[in-house]
Structure formats: C-alpha cells, structure tokens
Amino acid sequence: MKLLRNITLIGLAVSTLWCCKKEGVLSGDTQSDIFDKDVWTDSVRTMQVLTSVYADLGPESYTTRINTSNSLSEFSDESDERWATTTTTPAGTFQKGNYSASSLPAPFNTVWKDSYKSIRKANLFINRVDESPLSAQTRKRMKAEARFLRSWYYHLLMKHYGGIPLVDHVLTIDDDFNLPRNSYEEGVNYIVKEMDEAAADLPMEYTGTEGQNYGRITRGACLALKARVLLFAASPLFNGGAADQNPVFGYPTEDKARWTKAAQAAKAVIDLNFYGLLQGEGGNNTTAEGFYNVFLQRVNKELIFARLSGSNRTYENAHLPSSRGGAYHTSPNGDYVDAYPMRNGMPINTPGSGYDPQNPYVNRDPRFYRSVIYNGALWLNPSTNTKQAVFTYFNAPSDGLSIPFVTPGTQTGYYNRKMMSEDVTGSTGGTQHFFPFLRYAEVLLNYAEALNESGQTTDAYEPMRQIRERAGLSPAALPSGLSQEQMRKFIRDERRIELAFEDHRFWDIRRWKIGASTYGTILRGMKIIKNTNGTYSYEKFDLPKPASVFIEPKMNLLPIPAVQVNISDKLIQNPGW
C-alpha cells in the first residue's frame, strides 16, 4: 500500500505545533526542544523523547490517566457513575445520546488530537534517533519500541473511527495537510506489518542490567497487539459491515478467513511459551488469588504490556464506599454481577446450578469476590484497621442503596473492587497498581473467540478451560457438545467477567454490534431489605432512569470531531454524524 507521508489536517498541524510549545516533556525544557539539533546529540535527551510518548499512554481513551475514577465502564453496561443521575457529566451525556461531532463529551473530544500528537512524537524519534550517540543496538531496539507505540495509537484511533489517515512523516511547512482517510484494511495491514518487523528487533524481556527497563515494549507486546487488531478486523462491525460499502469504514465484504488469521496471531503469542496466567500460591485458585494479584504484582508473566505506577491509593479512593474512605464513583450493573456463574461454572439461571435468589452471594465464581463489593463483603475499615463487613442493603448507614439515589451510597447495591488492594482504603495505605493494556488472559480469550467464529468450536474449549481453571471454577471445563452459538455466549460472558473494568466491554459491544440489546436495556440493581430478625430479603430492580440511547449503526463508530472535518474537504465524517 502507499502510506501517507504527512501529518493530517491543517487544524491538527496547528494544534500539534501549539502543544509542542506549551507542554513540557524533557527535563527542564519545553517540548519544542525536541526539534532542536542538540537533543539528538545527547543520549539522555534523546531517550526522553521516547519516554514522552510512553507518558501519553493511559487506560484507553483517558490518555495520561491511571487509577482514577474515570474509565469506560460508565460508558458501557458495566456500571453507572455516581453523578449520572444528578448532574451533567461526560458519562451522563453519552448515556443520553446528547452528543454530536461538534459537542463530544470527554474523553472522546480529544482522542483524535492527542493520538496524533503522540504519533508525531513517535515519528520524530524514529526519523532522528540514528543521529544520537546511543549504541546501534539500543537505537535499533528503541526505534522498534517507537514503532509499536505509533501503531498503538493507530489501533486506538481505528477502534473509535474505522479507517484514519496514516502518517509516517514529520510535519514540515511544505507538506500537504489536506489528506483523506486510509481504508480500514490499509490500517490493519500497516499495523500488522509494523508489528511483525518491530517484534524481530525487541527482546522477550528485560533482564540483568536491562531490568531497569521493565515495562518497555517487548516482542510479545507486538504480537499481542497484532492479534487484537486482527480480532477487531474479523469482527462483525468491520468484517463485511462497512457502512455504505465504503472501505474506509471496514471491509465491504465479509471473509470468514479473517477469523482464522486472528486465531493464528493469538496462537503465535501462546506459542512463545513465555506467558501464562498468574496462579494462586501453590497453584491454589480456589480464592482467585492469581486473578487478584495480576493487577498488583509488578513482575508477572501474565502482564504483556501495562501502565505501571508507584505506591498510591488513587483507585481505592475513587471506587471504595464512603465508610472505607472512597468516593463510591461507580455502581456496577446488576446484570454484570449476574453474569458471574456459580463456583461449579454453571450460569446462575441454569437449572441445577445451585443458585439461591435469597442467598445470591454463596458459592459464586471466586472472581466475583475479588471484583464486587456486595452486602456483607469484608473490607478494611480505616477507623479500626480491621476488616469488617460493608452493608449495602436498602438505606443502610453510609454505604446503603438509596432510591432515588442520594450521596453517599450505591445506586445498584454494589461497589467495584477489581484491581484494588484489599489492604488499602481510600484514606489509608497505598500500593503499586498496574493497569493492563495487554495481558495473557485476553490473548486466550481472543484465541477462543477466533477459533469458534472460524468454525473450530472444539478447539476453543482448551483456552476457555485455562481461563476458568485459574478463576477457581470446578469443574473448569465447559459442557461438551456446545454449538458455535452456545460457545459464543460462553466466550462473550467470559470476556465480560474476566476483562471487566479494563476498558474492553465498551469496544466489544461495538465490534459485536450488540448495542441495541445492551445500551437499550435499563441498568439493574439488587434491593436488599434487612428484616427485623437480622436476615435479608433480596429483590432485583430496574434503576429509575431511562436506558442509554443507542441508535445502530451510527453509534458503533464515534464521530470525528467536527473541527477536524470542517477544515479538510477530503476528511469524510463517519455515517450518520
């Protein structure tokens, strides 16, 4: 393919140059210094340019943000945010469908601009690093890192918009900024080629004197990103689902072979025989200890690429209930909670599962107890420094369910606890946190999905068994003889559980084109009444608010900000926007 060589759009160019002058990324200097020749004569300053591209990384759309109250969970059907019913917030605006190309809520209003700023810096590093006094081996490795990061931002843009302009040239005053969008296929092919080539120049891990580089891009990260991009390319939204048959928005014609390519790419990561699911101590997974520690243990073979952070309690402060010093930001959706099966692996609505509607939190999937704070769940109390029960029953003091919702409390009867340390509160203690951009569990789920969709349903059992075994389910194996449709439901439910609150569900809903049946459903909660004898009665209820607005197929792709489209006669807007 012919790769576009220029940065896109006059407006983007102007904003990029402006940001270069306003935001510092080099120690003691402004970002404009990266254009000075002296930067490339100094090893430290050269490396700082690449470090600044790393620093832009954040949980999906929220660039440079980690362990904060903001995530894409409130923008999907995973949870509702604390303020959605009382104030105008980005999530509330999004849920109501009150946005357009000219009035996008955060974080979607800056994705285009921020991603291209990072791509520009990566391009600059790739084009200039050979001028630096760094060793040839180091330059080669770091150039491969930059190629990964550039592709990462492209994959982020493609998830939002479909095909986008591809840029591999640093902006100069003589360049033509008025460029069209590349086709979706060209974007996929570009990332795949880049990842294949970059992987060859990167180590599997950083050891010895290179241990200080832990967290940098590795060969496995390149192959895992390639696998994810091919999974998206094979998914219904893009695989023959191109709006108006325009190749910018996806492949005009469906090809089942794309699922085979996605499966092969995921298998390539598995065949490295380097990664694995983090297990509990002594291989004991009955309490989902490995699942819990993967987000808190700095070095483990499940994290392929992650955002690292020093000791903090930011996430705990944002999500824990008020009695634990938290800001109770998110209230998990009751339907998400119900997706957790029983410990025996059976969905709760399956006859013979053992689920008791009046004792709903007994014998559930061990990940449930590591992911959800429910009525009676234990958490450290900062006042006593002991673990005590959190009570979420209707009108319970401090943390209880309130209808209509008033602070403090929960809207659904639940609080999020995933990725948090059980030894930290919102006001005391701290620990390192690691937000997984790519982890081995996702690779296994990608592999299972691609196998099943390519007609190899029988082969999908093994990666699913590994996920469920580490979760502590017994038996871990799925029922035999599943049809492709039945296996699809198990895989999608497993992704919803295993990858919850990691900013996957938002994109899964879109690539599967299931928005009407998810956003179109009212969020649910659990109303628990405390009886006079100290027992509890349980009743599921619908939240007293409208279902989120989702008009297919318009909202499967997000609109490019109008300010970008308005300054280019070649940059077409996504359909319906």
Average pLDDT score over residue span 229-254: 95
Q: Which two tokens mark 236?
A: 């219904």
Average pLDDT score over residue span 369-397: 97
* Residue-wise pLDDT tens digits, 211-220: 688 899 999 9
pLDDT at 16 over 80: no
Task: Output the CA–CA distances (angstroms, integers) from residue 40 to 143, 171, 490, in the order listed.
Answer: 14, 18, 52
Higher model confidence: residue 136 or residue 545?
136
* Residue-wise pLDDT tens digits, 348-371: 999 999 999 999 999 999 999 999
Strand segments (E) across 390-532: 415-416, 434-439, 524-530
> What pLDDT was estimated at residue 87?
61
> What pLDDT was estimated at residue 552?
81
Round to whole Å and give the CA distance between 495 and 487: 12
Average pLDDT score over residue span 511-523: 93
pLDDT at 32 over 70: no
Please, are residues 513 and 61 in contact by the beta-carbon 8 Å criterion?
Answer: no
Q: Give 27-58 as a 3 state SS string.
A: CCCCHHHHHCHHHHHCHHHHHHHHHHHHHCCC
Q: What is the pLDDT of the chain when averaged over all its residues?
A: 89
Rg (CA), the chain: 24
Q: How confident is the model at residue 536 (pLDDT cuts 50, 70, 90)?
A: very high
